[in-house]
Amino acid sequence: MTEIVIRQMQEGDLPEADRIMRLAFGTFLGLPDPMSFSGDADYIGTRYRADPPAALVAEIDGKVAGSNFALHWGSVGVFGPLTVHPDFWDRGVARRLLEETMGIFAKWQVKHAGLFTFAQSSKHVHLYQKFGFWPRFLTSIMSKPVDRVMDANLVRYSELSAAEKEQAVEACKNLTGGIYGGLDLRKEIHSIDKQRLGDTILTYDGGSLAGFATCHCGAGTETSSGNCYVKFATALSGPGSAERFDGLLDACESFAHSQGLSHIIAGVNTARHGAYRNMIARKFRTDIQGIAMHRPNEPGYNREDVYLIDDWR
Ligand SMILES: CC(C)(COP(=O)(O)OP(=O)(O)OC[C@H]1O[C@@H](n2cnc3c(N)ncnc32)[C@H](O)[C@@H]1OP(=O)(O)O)[C@@H](O)C(=O)NCCC(=O)NCCS
């Protein structure tokens, strides 16, 4: 078997890595035109630019054969999209990419790692279990039309001064740390700001941070035209968190409306039962559902009392 080489992604790899990502998912899902997968969204370029050393490619005979991305959320690590060109499936390419990805997690000293995958695919579950990830609860990727326009009291991160931005990131870190020790979304906040992918919305209660949401807006981001994708959002934990979560979702919807977007997309792990029920009550409907796999096999922040949106895709 030809040698599989794993190396850091370079800017010049982006077109081929993007092509393989679409072809791989489109083929797996049986789309009539596999390359139409994910439309005008951009996962590869945006994740590469967010953290180039955490973007990996697999090479066979000097050609890109697959890629994967690690996301560093403080004590939590997430990876994806992991894709391999269909010509090379079942030859251990994903295994090699994952070995290297686990090395990155070890270097970051993450306490909890997770991924989102196809619950019906025994291949996917088998592959990840070999690396110590175990299936737990379903994650629902939901959406709803933007139709509630209220006067939400929100602050946009992009409009803050440099000093205020630093304070806001610190406050977000304290808020997430109260949910799961060391959980820190600063890289997502910075990436959205630097790449102008959307904005981070902050809500306040009596002067202190009540919640925040990292939102991708429209084409060329992790969502496509017309959508506001809430990649991560959470409300301060403790008494009143359900109400704060409600306020945060109002703020997201009001922000989406201000950007001229027609739909809001947000994923929630069903172990966060309160958050899941709240979203159903707000008329979010599930478009895609998959399984969250955790390493180690512990809840992490996927708990009943946690009012948080993310989907680990
Ligand atoms: C999922 C994907 C990344 C796997 O890549 P790959 O290079 O084919 O994976 P590997 O060859 O390293 O490993 C596949 C493993 O699954 C096993 N496998 C294959 N078919 C299987 C099945 N039906 N049931 C159980 N195990 C299966 C293989 O035997 C191998 O395990 P082994 O090494 O213990 O023998 C690739 O198929 C892909 O790009 N799919 C489309 C995109 C996608 O779904 N990405 C992942 C999203 S979470």
Q: Determine the longest span between alpha carbons in the chain, in angstroms.
A: 63
On the question of pLDDT at 152 being above 80, the answer is no
User: How far apart, in whole angstroms, are the C-alpha atoms of residue 84 and residue 94?
Assistant: 7
Overall average pLDDT of the 255-282 stretch: 97
The first and second tokens of residue 29, run together, are 């899902």
Report the pocket of ligand 1 as residue ranges, CB < 6 Å.
Answer: 24-25, 28, 80, 82-84, 89-95, 117, 122-124, 126-127
Q: Which atom of ligand 1 is nearest to the CA of 93?
A: 7
Q: Which atom of ligand 1 is nearest to the CA of 91?
A: 11
Quick one: CATH architecture of 4-110?
A: 3-Layer(aba) Sandwich (3.40)
User: How far apart, in whole angstroms, are the C-alpha atoms of residue 99 and residue 94?
Assistant: 9
pLDDT of residue 4: 97
- The yes/no answer on whether domain 143-309 falls in CATH 3.40.630.30 is yes
Residues whose CB falls within 8 Å of the CB of residue 67, separated by 6 or more in sequence, listed in order: 9, 13, 17, 20, 21, 44, 55, 56, 57, 58, 81, 82, 83, 97
On the question of pLDDT at 153 being above 90, the answer is no
Mapping DSSP to helix (H, G, I), strand (E, B) and coil, where does residue 76 land? strand
Confidence of residue 147 (pLDDT cuts 50, 70, 90): confident
Mean pLDDT of the chain: 97
On the question of pLDDT at 148 being above 90, the answer is no
Instruction: Please check whether residue 110 is in contact with residue 146, taking contact to mean a CB–CB distance below 8 angstroms.
Output: no
Pocket test for ligand 1, best of 57, 97, 123 (most atoms within 8 A of CB): 123
296 CB burial (10 A radius; 0-12, 13-18, 19+): exposed
Q: Which atom of ligand 1 is nearest to the CA of 20?
A: 39
Q: Whose CA is nearest to atom 46 of ligand 1?
A: 82
Q: Report the separation in Å between the CA atom of 125 and the middle of ligand 1, taken as the mean of its atom positions.
A: 9
On the question of pLDDT at 150 being above 80, the answer is no
Q: Which atom of ligand 1 is nearest to the CA of 90?
A: 11
Where are the chain's structural domains? 4-110, 143-309
Q: Report the separation in Å between the CA atom of 220 and the middle of ligand 1, taken as the mean of its atom positions.
A: 28
Overall average pLDDT of the 116-143 stretch: 98
E strand segments, the chain:
4-8, 55-60, 63-73, 76-79, 83-84, 112-117, 134-145, 154-156, 198-205, 208-217, 227-235, 263-269, 285-295, 308-309
Q: Give the Å distances, CA to CA, from 9 to 12, 79, 219.
A: 8, 15, 23
Burial 6-28 (b: 16+ CB within 10 A, else e): beebeeebbebbbebbbbbbbbb
User: Alpha-carbon dihedral of residues 47, 300, 304, 292, nearest 10 degrees?
Assistant: 50
H-helix or E-strand spanning residue 251: helix 241-258
Overall average pLDDT of the 112-137 stretch: 98
Mapping DSSP to helix (H, G, I), strand (E, B) and coil, where does residue 181 land? coil
Q: Report the separation in Å between the CA atom of 40 and the middle of ligand 1, taken as the mean of its atom positions.
A: 26
Lowest average pLDDT, out of 22-26, 144-148, 261-265, goes to: 144-148
Pocket test for ligand 1, best of 126, 129, 133, 311 (most atoms within 8 A of CB): 126
Determine if the pTM surpasses 0.95. Answer: yes
The first and second tokens of residue 81, run together, are 């999209």
On the question of pLDDT at 84 being above 90, the answer is yes
Confidence of residue 1 (pLDDT cuts 50, 70, 90): low
Pocket test for ligand 1, best of 18, 91, 93, 127 (most atoms within 8 A of CB): 127
pLDDT of residue 2: 80
196-244 pLDDT tens trace: 999 999 999 999 999 999 999 999 999 999 999 999 999 999 999 999 9
User: How far apart, in whole angstroms, are the C-alpha atoms of residue 196 and residue 32?
Assistant: 33
pLDDT of residue 151: 67
Same-fold call for 4-110 versus 143-309:
yes
Neighbours of 101 (CB within 10 A): 24
User: How far apart, in whole angstroms, are the C-alpha atoms of residue 251 and residue 247?
Assistant: 6
Instruction: Please check whether residue 275 is in contact with residue 308, taking contact to mean a CB–CB distance below 8 angstroms.
Output: yes
Pocket test for ligand 1, best of 19, 90, 294 (most atoms within 8 A of CB): 90
Q: Whose CA is nearest to atom 33 of ligand 1?
A: 92
On the question of pLDDT at 281 being above 80, the answer is yes
Q: Whose CA is nearest to atom 26 of ligand 1?
A: 123
pLDDT of residue 8: 98
Q: Report the separation in Å between the CA atom of 155 and the middle of ligand 1, taken as the mean of its atom positions.
A: 43
- Transcribe 89-157 into DSSP letters: TTSSHHHHHHHHHHHHHHHHT-SEEEEEE-TT-HHHHHHHHTTT-EEEEEEEEEEEE--------EEEG
